[in-house]
Structure 1
């Protein structure tokens, strides 16, 4: 759940009334707000393009009311606005007065528009002020300091959230001077989307109401005194009646104080429960420290094993020395060939061969020399590659033997066709840090076993590291807790090989291994051979339909031999079915030219569809690229 929705949940609780969202955009926040079950959700968005996306997203919610219009300050019905090529930057601020660097290079135009003043938009909804109503302002922060007249209509809202990186100055161009509200510290971490939270100053409002009630009572009392002067008998009866009313008011006041005392006692009990929860959390933290200490010892042991493998590195150095000696021999051979050429030149001169014969022999000699040098260079590269690959293989084999002697298990191989050990270590770190709900893999192999083991270990550690929330437990039940990894494999041979390996390692229950033959598909007007994965992706989408999930996706197939840009369709497949979830897509072998072309086309697709994303290059043996959608 997004930080803004969490803050609303903490402030409003279960009695959430109307939520009014001004600057709703394309509705990326909608699912999180909908989980809070408001009585009504009012969404205002002026951009027709963003409003269309918002409208499509709201079809499944019957409590949402949409408005495609500008919301303006109090008493303002029309004004000039600045519109940009990217509608997210549309603003009431002229471009020349904007301090935003993001807008400096964007095409724009100035338009005269009509809108609805904020007080009219509020009055038209007849909002029930007795409920916890929320106003969200997600608009241009550059106008916050342009104060306007105080807006009394805002009293129907119990809290106001201003989404802005700027510190709140006490006034806002839409809200006016917010005397009826007080700024409240954020109830969640501030290292996420920044916003200011204003809480209705009920104490001040109650004081004003009390003064009005008192004035009415005094006026009534004056009329009663005038009536008492007219008739002493009637005054006595009025006095007795008033005395009875005062006794009743006293009884009510005593009851109210008693009720207030009970509420304070209840709050103290809740505070005690929070202290107990904090104590438990501290205990869990100690468990975490012990876990880190244990794994630190294992890492130190692994480093010691690497020290033992230095002898293998020394062998590689000896191999380099042998290669240098071979190069020296090649130089001597070149000198001998040069001497032979000189002798041949002398013989040709002495025998006075004709020029055509001389040129023919010289050309043949050059070709022989080039062929000899090319052959020698090829052999040297082959010998170097073979030596280095053998050295890496010896290190992996030594570690595998050590693991077998200690635990009776044979280690996975990471050199050659499988994913390299450096990218494997990076992926393990991401799984531990980002707490994924599911891992999707295009192409099976060593990574499949690695993911299954990591998710199994994570599942075993969860009861010790944190108290699993009821929501997270429900999510795992819906998505299938025993299938934390979904892998697509088109090659029947490798499918059976991976299945056998998972069964041997007792990890088959953690993986849904899908045989997905390559079929002809169309993507962005081009033809490809790609996995038959549509049915399984729709199944995943249905399992996570009720909440936003966090997923890791490894794109390591199909192989390039199946056609140019073979892995390009992966992004469209994911966007069409799982586009509203948080996806961390990892593309292996990103150092290759073809993969770099795929990355460029992916970014063009995301920008055209207004999908927010972050990217990261991972330095490793074969290269890896990370694309985070909806971060």
Structure 2
């Protein structure tokens, strides 16, 4: 190989080495930033869980709060709000850890009732067992029914792969003057915009001071639903930057 070719080859290797070093440095910086972000998020959840446990009056442990379950930060907000606002009637769609947290706040207030709507008999039985273990069952009316076709207006297009389904309307019999509506179901895999029917089905059952809370607003579907609800039902919408997001709709003043 000639000296010129050797020089050219050396320069190519030098440039390649610089690029690799630069890429490695940039990747290292990104990994460090991502690690710090994860650490901060984990700390926030541990801090929220610690404060939540201090506020709760239960003797046992909470159900697992990872995966599909509500996160500690939103449960802390929920418990604090209920103890402060002292609602008479709370309705939730989707039972679980939130059922225990809401019931505990009602018991500490010494007033109120939670109507918990659940589609899964398996999870409903688990929730009831947890409530009974903490002597909270008297504060909760747990209603279970398989999801069924939703024939009224829906955000899901008519030609969607999965037809719109929601809880049986019969589960809402006798429900009125609801002060807080907590929406954490049905699961998103049910159909597109699976949680949309909650407010249309409940709009004439809400009190004048009612608030609507939507979990999981880091997902675009839940954001779209909240914005549609706000437009159609005259609510003001606010988002809280929690781990999984929280949309809070309040009556326009």
Specify if TM > 0.5: yes
Are 1:589 and 2:216 counterparts? yes
Are 1:486 and 2:115 counterparts? yes
Match of residue 241, structure 2, among 619, 622, 630: 619
Give the whole-Å Cα distance in 1 for the aligned partners of 2:66 and 2:206: 34
Asked if the contact 1:520–1:529 (Cα under 8 Å) also holds between the matched residues in 2, the reply is yes
Secondary structure at the residue paired with 2:151?
A: strand
Asked if the contact 2:180–2:210 (Cα under 8 Å) also holds between the matched residues in 1, the reply is yes
Asked if the contact 1:581–1:630 (Cα under 8 Å) also holds between the matched residues in 2, the reply is no
User: CA 1:392 to 1:411, structure 2 compared with 1: closer, same or farther past 3 Å?
Assistant: farther
User: CA 1:390 to 1:425, structure 2 compared with 1: closer, same or farther past 3 Å?
Assistant: closer
Match of 1:502 in 2: 131
User: Aligned runs of 1:130-529 on 2, under 5 Å?
Assistant: 388=39, 395=46, 409-411=60-62, 413-459=64-110, 484-524=113-153, 527-529=163-165
Match of residue 531, structure 1, among 147, 163, 167: 167
Match of 2:175 in 1: 540
Asked if the contact 1:443–1:488 (Cα under 8 Å) also holds between the matched residues in 2, the reply is yes
User: CA 1:539 to 1:497, structure 2 compared with 1: closer, same or farther past 3 Å?
Assistant: same
- Which digits, 9 at most, give the CA deviation of each residue in 1:449-496, with x for residues without a partner? 00000000000xx7xxxxxxxxxxxxxxxxxx6xx1011111121111
Give the whole-Å Cα distance in 2 for the aligned partners of 1:564 and 1:493: 24
Match of 1:628 in 2: 250
Structure with bigger RCO (C-alpha 8 Å, 6+ apart) = 2
- For these two proteins, the number of residue pairs brought into alignment is 216
User: CA 1:500 to 1:597, structure 2 compared with 1: closer, same or farther past 3 Å?
Assistant: same
Match of 1:605 in 2: 232
- Which digits, 9 at most, give the CA deviation of each residue in 1:2-32, with x for residues without a partner? xxxxxxxxxxxxxxxxxxxxxxxxxxxxxxx
Bigger helix share: 1
User: CA 1:630 to 1:573, structure 2 compared with 1: closer, same or farther past 3 Å?
Assistant: farther
Q: Which runs of 4+ in 1 moved over 4 A?
A: 387-396
Gaps of 5+ in 1: 1-341, 347-372, 463-480, 542-548, 607-611
Give the whole-Å Cα distance in 1 for the aligned partners of 2:45 and 2:210: 37
User: CA 1:517 to 1:630, structure 2 compared with 1: closer, same or farther past 3 Å?
Assistant: farther
User: CA 1:457 to 1:560, structure 2 compared with 1: closer, same or farther past 3 Å?
Assistant: same
Which one has a bigger Cα radius of gyration?
A: 1
- TM-score normalised by length of structure 1: 0.31
User: Deviation of residue 581 (structure 1)?
Assistant: 4.3
Asked if the contact 1:399–1:411 (Cα under 8 Å) also holds between the matched residues in 2, the reply is no
User: CA 1:487 to 1:411, structure 2 compared with 1: closer, same or farther past 3 Å?
Assistant: closer
User: Deviation of residue 390 (structure 1)?
Assistant: 11
Asked if the contact 1:582–1:630 (Cα under 8 Å) also holds between the matched residues in 2, the reply is no
CA RMSD of aligned residues (A): 3.6
User: Deviation of residue 391 (structure 1)?
Assistant: 5.9
Give the whole-Å Cα distance in 2 for the aligned partners of 1:567 and 1:399: 30
User: Deviation of residue 561 (structure 1)?
Assistant: 0.7
Secondary structure at the residue paired with 2:225?
A: helix
